[in-house]
Amino acid sequence: MFKAENISINFSNQVILDEANFAINEGEIIAMLGDSGSGKSSVLKFLAGLSSNQKGNVLLDGENLTIDGVHLVSPDKRNIGMVFQDYALFPHMNVKKNIEFGISHLSRRERKSIVENLLSLIELEGIEKKYPHQLSGGEQQRVALARALAKKPKLLLMDEPFSSLDARHKKDLIAKVRDILKKTNTASIFVTHDKKEASGLADKTAVIKNKKLTYK
């Protein structure tokens, strides 16, 4: 369903990741594990079309999104969702408005149905009118996930999604997120430096070490 070919990440003419290749099937979850500075987050941004000046090809359902490092499809047209490390919820919008942000072109009835279904899926019914500052870290992360899933992306990218949570809440949320991704059959790549996170969420783990990506 998704392929990344010969992905190379460079900073100031220094190669961080050299010609990585990986593929993802529909509904599959892959963890990208590596030390700080190994290029994990940079790979996600490149796949999403949010960064340039890198090398490689990106294909989704047979469509070329990026060829030889040149983005052919803009980030908003890639059918790729992204959840950031800091959740990136809009503080001036309530939960309902945050989830609706990427689907404003739909009818009011369609938006209402999607929001209700997603809040049920993330087990946070009844919080539509709350604002991000009124939610716990885990609740904010689940709302960020719901916002990304609202557009029904073929691929979801998650950048260190559990790093700000304590160990007790992290374990519960990892299980919930895996369940949500499997229920929606959403393929996902998430980056982490934590082996326990990788084993708890992913079907496969890709490790970046010494500028190379290998599967464990």
Q: Are 31 and 21 in contact (CB under 8 A)?
A: no
Q: Are 208 and 32 in contact (CB under 8 A)?
A: yes
Domain 1-79+154-216 belongs to what architecture?
3-Layer(aba) Sandwich (3.40)
- How far apart are the C-alpha atoms of 174 and 169, rounded to whole Å? 9
pLDDT above 90: residue 21:
yes
Which parts of the chain fold into alpha helices (H)?
40-47, 95-100, 108-121, 137-149, 167-184, 195-201
Tens digit of each residue's pLDDT (9 = 90 or more) over 26-36: 999 999 999 88
Torsions phi, psi for 92 (to 5 deg): -90, 0
pTM of this prediction?
0.90
Per-residue confidence (pLDDT) for residue 80, from 0 to 100: 95
HSE-up of residue 9 (Cα within 13 Å, Cβ side)? 22
pLDDT above 80: residue 85:
no
Q: Are 163 and 181 in contact (CB under 8 A)?
A: no
User: What is the chain's mean pLDDT, rounded?
Assistant: 91
| Residue 87: band (very low, low, confident or very high) from pLDDT cuts 50, 70, 90 | low
Task: Report the range of poorest mean pLDDT among 42-51, 83-92, 104-113.
Answer: 83-92
Length of the chain: 216
* Domain spans of the chain, in order of start: 1-79+154-216, 88-152
Q: What is the DSSP string of 189-212?
A: EEEES-HHHHHHH-SEEEEEETTE
Per-residue confidence (pLDDT) for residue 173, from 0 to 100: 86
Q: What percent of the chain has pLDDT over 90?
A: 73
Tens digit of each residue's pLDDT (9 = 90 or more) over 44-71: 999 999 988 899 999 999 999 999 999 9
